[in-house]
Structure 1
């Protein structure tokens, strides 16, 4: 009987832990729930199930109480798993906006020539951007990072514009001034890039024979996906990209929410797929990069990146077919910091890469 009293006490504690865990996740303080979730999922319910199996309670009331607890525990498990999965999907497809982005006014040479442009993504979603004509008609598309806007790429635009290139910076769907309801981590953003290329090819002041693409973070992954989808892209620069959608969701749980990837990340992906009509298996830059060859790819990643592991870019580079281009692990850089942490070498390498492959 003492065991049953202990199990009953554990059951009550488990219910409190379950409610506390969900409340803490919703409040955004998920770093403290690991022990709560572990205790709740791994201790009381399995212990009680084992007790019932090995030594069923003689009293009908105890049996009913035990079965009621197991049913409640299973239900709460589903509530917490689906709740965390829903919250994870919400954060993934509707991220907070990036802070402290550069401003166009900080780049007078760009501001003097910038043109506000509007065009359609491949699926018809209306996108907003800036086109800055350069000394040459050769144009590089600049793809911003997750949660950011085209302003994220102003330092890169300035760098390439000074080198003579025309540049197009635009907001991915649901970011900045572009239409759209959700970020899709590269799935529909690939079509945004293809729509941007179709728009550029319609301009008389742009060389339609081939484009460069430079992207960071989500933009870096999307640059690879788009490069694999069209021969119009002649050279790809990708910084801090993820190897797959599943990989970035797994890492996000561990880095931002401080929860184990399993079982929460797969549920998040499953829910996000159904909310925005995507398929995670079709967002795999590591697999798609091989289709870019023989066009070159320059892969770079901050060696100190804890948001997306440098191993992701190493895997992408390893999967590329010859000629692979370059792989650069930037020693002093964390996530998408190459332009600030290694400014001179960063600029020299990127400009030299585009000069070599965009004729």
Structure 2
């Protein structure tokens, strides 16, 4: 993986994530070069650098809008949202972080509207309260097959909508990109923690999709990226209405993974380690490490009988490749596939952020094969 910040995995990985959802290298370099040249840049410095990139694109978007260039302005606002969320994900908790998150939401919605994207914000009733999502429709009246797309540990529906964009749509599949317990708006605005029994929010999402005339209720799949590689398989194991499942980055025993991370104080994690306390809404790391033991798929994966795809990077430094092999072997489905993205072919890092295009197309082709047949 190219490291914009040599020796700093976390910040370099974040640069790749931003490129994946539409960031432009020149804009990024203009914002981050002062950090690269500074002696000891802090997390606060990081946040302000990215926020500056978001401010710049918002200002330029306003200039485009003043000239009547709505689509150009919309694309600017979408990139502004990407840069604001890149800032927020690494910043210290506090009012400034909350302010920047709000800016990311506002610029995203404005960008979607001005750019003419046919995406619909929806709010779904669940046992955890309202769960917001973006519905990315396939073309035509339908009913269409639909994939539910779960975020990971530190990402949001805005980031993932801009990652998948029209990849599924072009294959005749709609996508419901969700902020579920422990991520996005539920975590940031209402302090809703993650939960191990993710079949519960998954069930609420399916209940909602079944009310839509443009969704085929007999062709609903689920996929999840990063920690979503726990959420999606857990949901599929206990929710029979799910017809296929993708772990976009394998998870086997997330609790065991966290014990190792904390013991070594790993720096090869995409956000600061104390995010675990926030996601689980625990006051101490000891409490969080005890709670996270419940996030294991060892006894769950054998329950999966639907078509299943596990994708993993050969050089994933956050989740060991061996976990992907073990997870795949435990799945009971007779229609299952393990796709390893290698160093030679690209996309070998965690969730293929180093070269994402191949993975995005691969998962979209696989979903089309399973849901449109």
Q: TM-score, structure 2 length as denominator?
A: 0.59
Match of 1:223, SS state, is: helix
Deviation at residue 224 of structure 1 after TM alignment: 0.3
Match of 2:251, SS state, is: coil
Structure 2 unmatched ranges of 5 or more: 1-41, 44-89, 269-276, 278-283
Classify 1:152/1:220 alpha carbon distance in 2 versus 1 (closer, same or farther; 3 Å): farther
Match of 1:177, SS state, is: helix
Deviation at residue 269 of structure 1 after TM alignment: 7.7
Cα distance between partner residues in 2 of 1:346 and 1:110? 25
Match of 1:256, SS state, is: coil
Flag the structure with larger Rg: 1
Query: In the alignment, does 2:135 pair up with 1:119?
Result: no
Match of 1:357, SS state, is: helix
Deviation at residue 216 of structure 1 after TM alignment: 0.7
> What's the counterpart of residue 365 of structure 2?
352
| Structure 2 residue corresponding to 1:327, chosen from 318, 333, 338 | 338
Classify 1:310/1:233 alpha carbon distance in 2 versus 1 (closer, same or farther; 3 Å): same
Cα distance between partner residues in 1 of 2:206 and 2:364? 21
> What's the counterpart of residue 177 of structure 1?
185
Deviation at residue 318 of structure 1 after TM alignment: 1.0
Cα distance between partner residues in 1 of 2:114 and 2:197? 32
| Structure 1 residue corresponding to 2:166, chosen from 158, 161, 170 | 158
Cα distance between partner residues in 1 of 2:302 and 2:177? 26
Cα distance between partner residues in 1 of 2:168 and 2:124? 22
> What's the counterpart of residue 262 of structure 1?
none
The farther-off stretch of 329-338 and 309-318 is 329-338
CA contact (8 A) 1:238 1:299 kept: yes
| Structure 2 residue corresponding to 1:337, chosen from 349, 352, 357 | 352
CA contact (8 A) 2:224 2:231 kept: yes
CA contact (8 A) 2:136 2:176 kept: yes
> What's the counterpart of residue 45 of structure 1?
none
Classify 1:131/1:237 alpha carbon distance in 2 versus 1 (closer, same or farther; 3 Å): same
Number of matched residues? 253
| Structure 2 residue corresponding to 1:272, chosen from 274, 288, 310 | 288
CA contact (8 A) 1:116 1:129 kept: yes
Cα distance between partner residues in 1 of 2:113 and 2:224? 23
The farther-off stretch of 243-252 and 198-207 is 243-252
CA contact (8 A) 2:310 2:339 kept: yes
CA contact (8 A) 1:105 1:111 kept: no
Match of 2:147, SS state, is: strand
The farther-off stretch of 174-183 and 238-247 is 174-183
CA contact (8 A) 1:142 1:156 kept: no
Cα distance between partner residues in 2 of 1:249 and 1:161? 36
Structure 1 unmatched ranges of 5 or more: 1-26, 29-90, 259-264
Match of 2:164, SS state, is: helix
| Structure 2 residue corresponding to 1:297, chosen from 308, 311, 314 | 308
Cα distance between partner residues in 2 of 1:110 and 1:164? 21
Query: In the alignment, does 2:156 pair up with 1:142?
Result: no
Cα distance between partner residues in 2 of 1:207 and 1:316? 30
Match of 1:241, SS state, is: coil
CA contact (8 A) 1:163 1:351 kept: yes
Deviations, residues 92-149 of structure 1 (Å, cap 9, x unaligned): xx9x99999995788789852111100123x242111111221342111111111211
Cα distance between partner residues in 1 of 2:248 and 2:193? 19
Match of 2:184, SS state, is: coil
Match of 1:210, SS state, is: strand
| Structure 1 residue corresponding to 2:202, chosen from 193, 207, 221 | 193
Classify 1:126/1:342 alpha carbon distance in 2 versus 1 (closer, same or farther; 3 Å): closer
> What's the counterpart of residue 320 of structure 2?
309
Query: In the alignment, does 2:141 pair up with 1:129?
Result: no
Match of 2:217, SS state, is: coil
CA contact (8 A) 1:172 1:189 kept: no
Cα distance between partner residues in 2 of 1:124 and 1:227? 19
Deviation at residue 310 of structure 1 after TM alignment: 1.5
Cα distance between partner residues in 1 of 2:370 and 2:115? 24
